[in-house]
Structures are given as C-alpha cells and as structure tokens.
Structure 1
C-alpha cells in the first residue's frame, strides 16, 4: 500500500482548490479510469470500501448512517474535480482552511468532520502518520456559530397554538406535528415512524424505535401520550395512515414511506400555511421545544436521554441547566417583589428630630441659638 511522503514536500500553493468555483456549479462526472494509487481519489475510494465507512461491529466499527454517507460523499467529491488526481498531500491545512472559509460555519464543520473521518481510516491503515494529519488544530467555528445563532429555533407556545388552530385532528398536517410533538423523534426517525413502532410495554402502549442516527444501536422508548392517542384515532378514522408509516406519500390510495427531506419539506409547507414561517423553525424546533418542557418538568438526565435518544449526558444537562437558570431568575424576582411590597425605606432610615441646641449625639456638633440668629 502506498504511503504518503512527508508533507513538507508539498506546499499549499501547489494545490488548486475548488473554492475558486461557484458552489452551485454542476460538478463534472468523476473519471471512469481507475484512480492512481496515492491520489486523493484513490484514498477516497478506499475509505468508502472500509469498515470505517460501511461498519463492522466485529472489529469495533459502527460505520456511518446512510444520511451521513450521503452528506460526506457530496462534501468530499466537491474537492475531486480539481484535486482528485493529485497526491493526497496537496490537501494541506491551508487548503482545507480555504475550503472551509468558502462555506457557512455549519457546512465548514461538516466538511472538517468528513475529511477527518477519511484521515482516521488512513492513519489506522498506515497510510498516514498521526503527526502529518492536516486537520490538527483546525476549528470549524460551527459550535461558536451555533451558540451565537442558537441553531434551529424552538417553537413557542404561540407557534404551536397557531398550527393547531389551522390544522385540526384527522388531517395529515396535524398528524405530522403530533408525531414530532409527542414522540420527540428526530426527523430521521419521524419520517419512517409507523404502526410497527407501537408496542405494549409493561401494560402501557409505547413508541419504541431504534434511532437512525445511531444506526440502530440506540432505542428510544416513549409511552404514548393521551393526546397523541387521540390524534392517532382521528387519523385512522379519516383513513390517512399507512400500514408501514403513519405519514408519507399517497400512491394509488396507499400511504407509502417518503424520504426525510421530502417529509421535512411537506411539514415546513404546512407550518408556513399556519403562519409559522420563520426560516429556522422546522421539525427540529418542535423537538427542541419539547426538550425545554421536559427540563422544566424536572425530568432527570437519564429520563431525557431515554426519551430523546441521546447518548451524551451533555445534551440533557444543557436543557436542565437552562431551565434551572431561568427558574432561579423567576424565583429571585418573586422574592424582590414580595420584599418591595412588604417593606418601606422609612423602616430602615430613622427620622431626624429638630434639636435647637445640638444635633444628634452621632457627631456631637453644638449649635447655639444665638449663632442661628446671626446667620439669619
């Protein structure tokens, strides 16, 4: 297997990156000839055939979800038209940084993750030394941008009331909203959610689904909310649910699964028609709003992880800390209001009594009546 030469043999100026072209241009089809060993395209092809990409739990690799593969394919292959037939070493830190700057913070973070995924495979296979990793020290700014913008906006109570007022029970639009609102599922799971995911658990009907993000390794279990049960009954009575999925595309009278992008676009259309038309209010915003409710309802980190499918306790901790901070601010102001209503400054500031001979004993200043008359 070819091994990369030291990176010092290549400089960033030798690489011609795709940042010079518009991101909206159609990319040329990749060459049909076999990739030359050692080129960027050769390593990319090898990575896509690896356990890092496809997954093999027997060797400890979960692989990537189908949606992640699709995203990373687009990102890496955007580099291939101008760099694919060159040695991988042209992909220097400077070049990667330039590619990232040509994108939004979110896209830059995804590109960096995609490149790092391939580089981890290269290091494991002995194609590259860890010290020669060109992504060392690079930061996408994605986390900072998310903190500044808040990412997807959580829906407000007014948004939800507006949506419900527009779409009544028994409509497809309402069922899509109720799936998001009462199951807390991500888009990748909500679009494929159906009757097979309703199960009896400890005498309770519950939603149970292995998450797409974890490639089936994490299961979400959420008891069916009474209002969601009512929504499902209304949808069944209206004959709008499918046998495999509750919501999807209607084909010859049957409700069939649709891909998650199409499902999200349909939900967004219903939201806009209901007057919830802010750009960052989407499917994920409903999930975020419900996470806030769970935190305010004093759900524990473990409970939230079980319901929302998180594997990192940092996620529920974030919502719980936010709720606690807001609650402390509210309770603090309540104490101040109570204090202000029950006290007066007169209770703390003593009244000064007139003393024609001398002032209070605090300063021991003597005032004679004769001196007062002279001043007057």
Structure 2
C-alpha cells in the first residue's frame, strides 16, 4: 500500500488491534505531536482511515495556526472530513464554496463538539423550520451533502436530512427588462457611455454578470461569440448579429475584455453589477443584469429561434428555464428597440 505522509498506523502486539495517528512536527510547540485519528480498530486499507487522515491533513495544511483539532466523530470533525479529500466538494465553484463555508463556520461554532451520531432528523428539521425562508433553504443545501458523505463512508447508518421537507419561499425571480425598461435605459444613457456599453453587451450576448465581465475579442470564433459559463460550465454560442458587431466596434481593439474600469482593467463581477444597478436606478427601472439575460431570450424567441437554439446561445442547462424567460409581453416592440443600431 502506498505510504501516506504523516499517517502512522501501528498494530498493537497484545491485542492485534490497529491504531491510527497523524504525526507531525508542531513549530508552535517545538516538538513532534501525534494526534489520534479516532478510527482505531480499522485496518489501514479501510477508506475511513484515509478519510480521517485527509481531514486532519487539510487542517494542518490550510487552516490558520492554532486551530485545535476537533474530537473524532463530532460535527466539527465531520465538516473537516467533508471539505478535504472530497471530489464533489472540490468541483463546486469558488462562490458556492465561500457561501457554504460561512454556513459551516456558524454551525461549527454552535454544534462543532456535538457527536454526529446524536444529531437527529427531528432536531435538524426543527432548526431549519425556526430559521425559515431562503436562509433555511441555503443551509439545507449546504448540510445535506455533509451527512451524505458521512453515510457513504460508513460513519452513520442513515442521512438524517433524507426526507426533510422545507416550506420553500415563493419567489418572483429577477425582473425581466421589458420594452419600457429598454426604452428608458436607452433614453437615459446614450451610446458612448460605459453604462450603455454594459447594457448593450448584456442584451446582445445574454451573458450573466460574471461572464460579461470576462468577455473579450478572444471569445470571437468566426461568426459566433463563444464562451463557457462560469456558473454551469456550459458553453454558450451567440451569433454575431449586426447589432452585436456594432457594439463590439465601440470597445478597445487591444484589451483583455470588452468592458474596462477607470483603471483600464476588467471589472470584478460584483463591481459590474453595482455599476449597472446604479445606472438602472438612474433610468428609473428595476431590472438588473440578469433581467437583460431574460430579455435576450425573449428577443431570439421573437426572431423565430427554437427553445433548443436559445438554450445553446444562452448556455442554459434547462429548457424550461428558457421557456419561462420567453413568456413576456410586448415582444414585438422589444425586438424593434433591440435592432435599432445607433
């Protein structure tokens, strides 16, 4: 079996029982320390031994110095186990990881020392019900995979969150930019302003703010604008219409992205969203950048493109999402506004 760094497994002579430790030099203490992994009795080839090692190793590698190791098979220990050496966690976007780590930090503080086998479905359901709203939904999404990881490794017999149902809050989603909104923005922000450039590029590419901030001439492939959506990793194929070509012609020929801030650098997605939000309020509209993404779908639906074709352009993973976006009023007027080349 391949040697794992800092993992020390010893078979006791008297009992024949295996014991497993994480052994490493602690600079703060000036000596080598040996930490029990809490999985004694298991054979070194058991996957639970490697999982326990991965959690402790990640703590030493990634966490700030001075963080005490939680006791084995407590909830704090389980969180470390889930976020280290777990392929599914590794595949989440950095944005998703950041939001879920914030949730984990709160639970680590409140429930970190609690043994995982004492956590029941009833206790979790009551806690989520008391919190309610979108916060409860977000915590449910973050915590359920943690318990599922424990179940698959054999530390618990059943995922206590399996079967829990939440009262999901109703949502209207992002406001679609209708014909009146588009006309109002075009009236307030003339061609040549940064606000209008952001608006037009969002309309004609259908890109979400994170993708819009990264688009540039390197994404032009023949008659298409091609890019991979940051959130879903789905590739979007946007036709280079005369309107889109005209907008691109207003951007710098040599630049990393179409849209640059006052320092000549690409925008962070949050800053780009804030810029558009301020511009939209100045124009008297409520739609945000995501609302323009919906208008993009509506525009192409009116031009006769099928749901599948629009999905390929917008990079959507769900056809139902495209269909929902294209249910808009005043579509004919919207198209007339969008094909008006300044």
TM-score (norm 2): 0.70
Distance in 2 separating the partners of 1:112 and 1:92? 14
Is structure 2 residue 155 aligned with structure 1 residue 119?
Answer: no
Distance in 1 separating the partners of 2:66 and 2:298? 50
Is structure 2 residue 266 aligned with structure 1 residue 230?
Answer: no
- 2:213 aligns with 191
Report if the CA contact (8 A) 1:197-1:208 is conserved: yes
- Structure 1 residue 171, shift from structure 2 partner: 1.6
Matched ranges for 1:67-216 at <5 A: 67-101=95-129, 103=131, 105-129=133-157, 132-142=158-168, 145-146=170-171, 150-200=172-222, 204=223, 206-214=224-232, 216=233
- Structure 1 residue 190, shift from structure 2 partner: 1.6
**CA spacing shift, 1:181–1:115, aligned 2, 3 Å:** same
2:249 is paired with a residue of what secondary structure?
Answer: helix
- Structure 1 residue 315, shift from structure 2 partner: 2.1
- Cα displacement string for residues 248-306 of structure 1 (whole angstroms, at most 9, x for unaligned residues): 4333xx2x233322221121111111212x3xx32111112222333344422221220
How large is the RMSD of aligned CA atoms in angstroms? 2.8
Distance in 1 separating the partners of 2:289 and 2:200? 11
Structure 2, unmatched stretches of 5+, are 1-36, 40-63, 332-342
**CA spacing shift, 1:295–1:128, aligned 2, 3 Å:** farther
Matched ranges for 1:220-369 at <5 A: 220-236=236-252, 243-251=255-263, 254=264, 256-276=265-285, 278=286, 281-319=287-325, 322=327
1:79 is paired with a residue of what secondary structure?
Answer: helix
Distance in 1 separating the partners of 2:129 and 2:209? 28
Structure 1, unmatched stretches of 5+, are 4-28, 55-62, 328-376
**CA spacing shift, 1:98–1:194, aligned 2, 3 Å:** farther
Report if the CA contact (8 A) 2:200-2:247 is conserved: yes
- Cα displacement string for residues 12-44 of structure 1 (whole angstroms, at most 9, x for unaligned residues): xxxxxxxxxxxxxxxxx9971112211212111
- Cα displacement string for residues 315-340 of structure 1 (whole angstroms, at most 9, x for unaligned residues): 234446x47x999xxxxxxxxxxxxx
Report if the CA contact (8 A) 2:176-2:294 is conserved: yes
Distance in 1 separating the partners of 2:88 and 2:235? 22
- Cα displacement string for residues 133-189 of structure 1 (whole angstroms, at most 9, x for unaligned residues): 2222223444x512xxx2111111111111111111222111111221111112231
Distance in 1 separating the partners of 2:149 and 2:330? 44
- 2:32 aligns with none
Q: Which has the larger radius of gyration?
A: 1
**CA spacing shift, 1:267–1:95, aligned 2, 3 Å:** farther
Report if the CA contact (8 A) 1:30-1:81 is conserved: no
